[in-house]
Structure 1
Amino acid sequence: MSTTSRGSAGKRRLLGEHLRALRESSGLTIVQAGAGIGRSNPTISRIETGKRTPQLIEVKALAELYGADKETTATLLKLLSEIKDEGWWDAYKDVMPASLANYVQLEAEAASLKVFALAVVHSLLRTEDYLRAVLRATSPSAPAKEVDRLAAFHLERQRQSLLQPENPLELIAVLDEAALRREVGGRDVLRAQLEHLLRSMEAPNITVQILPYDKGAHGALNGSFTILDFPDPSEPSVAYVDSPGGNLYLQKSPDMRRFEKTHAELRGSALDKPESERWLRNALKEM
């Protein structure tokens, strides 16, 4: 799912080439560059290959990190200003942390997501009330207006990714039973959430499988994760892990093999579509 203008592709690539040349001249690796400005390795890589438009603050930070002079920095900023491809998420910059903006841009460029949700329903599958309940629980000091804006952002994210009439994002989600038993927002909110999951499963681009308690221990007991696959088969997939300690992006082959294997095993253990639908209907009857 491309979110960028074709007319800007050449300038994105040119900007990326300039930044890569500066990085190499400075003797820094992609890992060091990412650590230097607080961005993931895949983000730096995608900027350098012209697949991602960097933010103004990122270009300035990279130029400073690489020791670029004023003239070179001005050239970089001019190139950036000529790229006309703001993402829909830019309207929510006032409430969206940089870490979330970084992830959402990757997600918007992906063709498919393979996710595992351990504790709560995945954010792309949440109802508005469930979203708000999660936001209030995870950000208890956030003002009501901020919660409203973040909820609106996530709902728009669902529309932009899953509900597009052409080339919608493919979502393959395994949900642990724990995520479906926890009464986030109360019983009524959970009931509406389970009903929403049933409706979502009717979409051809959405696969939801439930992993019941009786399947026992599994390879993802440490937490949820997401695998992002991109339209270009030559472009490496990215594994994303969100935790209270920070966001982790993994792209190296051994890491990706481990996450792909784990997700495949989870799908193999989880209920298939008819069984998952039946599980949800039974859970609703019990409420």
Structure 2
Amino acid sequence: MLHHVHMSTRTSPTVKRRRIAAELRRLRARTGMSAEEAGRQVGLSKSAISRIENAESTPQVATVAALMRLYGVAESDIEQISDVARQARTRGWWQRWNDVLPGWFDTYVGLESEASHISEYEPQLVPGLLQTADYARAVIRAEHPDETPEGIERRVELRLQRQQQRLEHPPKLWVVLDEAVLHRIVGSRDVMRNQLKRLADVAVQPGNDLQVLSFEAGEHGSMGSAFFILRFPDVGDTPCVYLETRAGSLYLEEIDEVEQYTTLFDHLRATAVGVRRSEEMISEAINRL
């Protein structure tokens, strides 16, 4: 039986492509057919089937329908998933920035744009969604020393556009920041003061929880590496964990992997100081500048 889910009002082609991939993987596994066999029946290579099932490529609507017929799915259910497949073939707003958007980050922005809950641990920097333009510019310059001034501005624009989109459909945001983030001067003292004021504003907005992991907390899990847990409004879209490195990104989507990171995040939340004390620490950091 297909998962009947209400369509989210947000339409991120990336999330829809993930939904199709998961559905087709599940249906093929149920029939016991190999990827090679399924491909042969609909005129696709084994690798084309794998790319579709791993959400690496967006299948034609007709291909999705043909595979579902092959797997013995009822026509009414095929129609429902064909709608999702059509949405998967639309362009995301972020694709206007393809000149400065690496393929692996394109996927993240597509997932972020439809997430209903974002939990994030950040040991080094203010998260991209909460950065001021000046702070973002300083970080981007440091990360891309060979980029032209125009290229830097394009990247800053994309970051601001992500924030703008978030205002239209605000996800619940729970951020644990290492105390180092409050002390590291990025850009200049002025830039940093404005950035911390932005953090102070965000911290008191409904739907946001901001906690500081103080130096006194000592050693803890995930030291030195940021991670994000993204959850989606539709039950058919499983949560995922996003890890970013200089070379690219890693998505963890298996239930046990997501659970491991959820437990780790729970430990970090419990180790961090409370929301009210965190607000005080941000104010103290502003006063020091």
The structure-2 alpha-carbon separation of the partners of 1:269 and 1:26, relative to structure 1 and needing over 3 Å to count, comes to same
**3-state SS of 2:113 partner:** helix
Aligned match of 1:274 in 270, 273, 276? Answer: 276
Question: Structure 2 CA distance, aligned partners of 1:33 and 1:260?
Answer: 33
Superposed CA RMSD in Å reads 3.4
Question: Structure 2 CA distance, aligned partners of 1:2 and 1:140?
Answer: 39
The structure-2 alpha-carbon separation of the partners of 1:2 and 1:153, relative to structure 1 and needing over 3 Å to count, comes to farther
Supply the AA of the counterpart residue of 2:106: A
Partner of 1:76: none
Question: Structure 2 CA distance, aligned partners of 1:239 and 1:255?
Answer: 8
Question: Structure 1 CA distance, aligned partners of 2:96 and 2:258?
Answer: 33
Aligned match of 1:246 in 239, 245, 248? Answer: 248
Q: Which structure: larger Rg?
A: 2
Q: How does 1:170-181 map to 2 (within 5 A)?
A: 170-181=172-183
Partner of 1:4: 11
CA shift for structure 1 position 107:
1.1
Supply the AA of the counterpart residue of 1:210: V
For the pair 1:146 / 2:157, whether they are aligned, the reply is no
Partner of 1:137: 142
Question: Structure 1 CA distance, aligned partners of 2:175 and 2:110?
Answer: 20
Supply the AA of the counterpart residue of 2:271: S
Question: Structure 1 CA distance, aligned partners of 2:92 and 2:248?
Answer: 24
CA shift for structure 1 position 262:
0.7
CA shift for structure 1 position 4:
2.3
CA shift for structure 1 position 235:
2.8
Which structure 1 segments of 5+ residues have no match? 48-53, 60-78
The structure-2 alpha-carbon separation of the partners of 1:135 and 1:107, relative to structure 1 and needing over 3 Å to count, comes to same
**3-state SS of 1:109 partner:** coil
Aligned match of 1:213 in 209, 212, 215? Answer: 215
Contact residue 239 and residue 251 of structure 1 kept, 8 A = yes
CA shift for structure 1 position 84:
6.9
Q: How many residues align?
A: 243
Question: Structure 2 CA distance, aligned partners of 1:150 and 1:80?
Answer: 30
Partner of 2:260: 258
Find runs of 4+ consecutive structure 1 residues off by over 3 angstroms.
20-23, 25-28, 79-85
Q: For each residue in 1:148-188, what CA deviation from the matched residue of structure 2 results, as whole angstroms up to 9, or x when unmatched?
A: 01101110101101x11xx4211111000112211111221
CA shift for structure 1 position 245:
3.6
Partner of 1:63: none
Contact residue 2 and residue 109 of structure 1 kept, 8 A = no
Q: For each residue in 1:178-233, what CA deviation from the matched residue of structure 2 results, as whole angstroms up to 9, or x when unmatched?
A: 12211111221111111110111222122211111111111010400000111123
Partner of 1:90: 95
Question: Structure 1 CA distance, aligned partners of 2:184 and 2:190?
Answer: 12
Contact residue 133 and residue 184 of structure 1 kept, 8 A = yes
For the pair 1:284 / 2:286, whether they are aligned, the reply is yes
**3-state SS of 2:99 partner:** coil
The structure-2 alpha-carbon separation of the partners of 1:5 and 1:208, relative to structure 1 and needing over 3 Å to count, comes to closer
Percent identical among aligned pairs is 31
CA shift for structure 1 position 246:
2.5
Question: Structure 2 CA distance, aligned partners of 1:112 and 1:97?
Answer: 24
For the pair 1:117 / 2:122, whether they are aligned, the reply is yes
Question: Structure 1 CA distance, aligned partners of 2:230 and 2:47?
Answer: 22
Contact residue 40 and residue 249 of structure 1 kept, 8 A = no
